[in-house]
Amino acid sequence: MALNQIKLRYLPGIASALCLLNFSIFWAASSHAACAEMFEVSMRKLHSQRQIDLCDLTQKKPVLIVNTASHCGFTPQFRGLEKLHLRYKDRGLVVIGFSSNDFNQEASKEAKAATVCYVNYGVTFTMLAPSHVKGPSANPVFVSLRAASQEPGWNFNKYLVGREGKKIEHYESRVAPNDAELIKAIESLL
């Protein structure tokens, strides 16, 4: 068989493979293109080895981000956050808790923090393993929040992020999850 015949014979298969490869690259890029840049990170779930791809979790959805601690005066807000999660999850709201000891009020053992969240308060929304939410060691999400809004001044600060990640509203710790202003802002994004 001549070299020209070999080229012609395998050319359709090579072209199909290249087309499939290009589609795969396009699909992967476009699926993450729907994700706000601040969520292009994976972080470990609280008291688990499982990594959570925040881009997959939040794509085209409004997100309520809260920095949490299990031994804070605001810790009972977990109940209200869970109610928000249950009330709005089917309409697209994603609630994410970022466990942190930046204010020296998180349990020293991650298992204890998980017990407070999951057992004591019945949390079913996504809770992430302890990380920094302020200062130079802040996790990438909180670096983005700080740049767009402000750094949390205490535990249970709430950040409401629009579907595209461009609109960010900040609520102080004292703003309860059932606060009328927060509810109105969430509903405006759904």
Q: Which amino acid is at 36?
A: A
* pLDDT above 80: residue 98: yes
Let me know: does 127 contact 111? Beta carbons within 8 Å.
no
pTM: 0.84
- CB distance 69 to 152 below 8 Å: no
Q: What is the pLDDT of residues 110-167, one digit of tens each?
A: 999 999 999 999 999 999 999 999 999 999 999 999 999 999 999 999 999 999 898 9
End-to-end CA distance of the chain, in Å? 64
Tokens 């470990």: give the residue: 44
Q: Which amino acid is at 23?
A: F
Q: Which residues are known catalytic residues?
A: 72
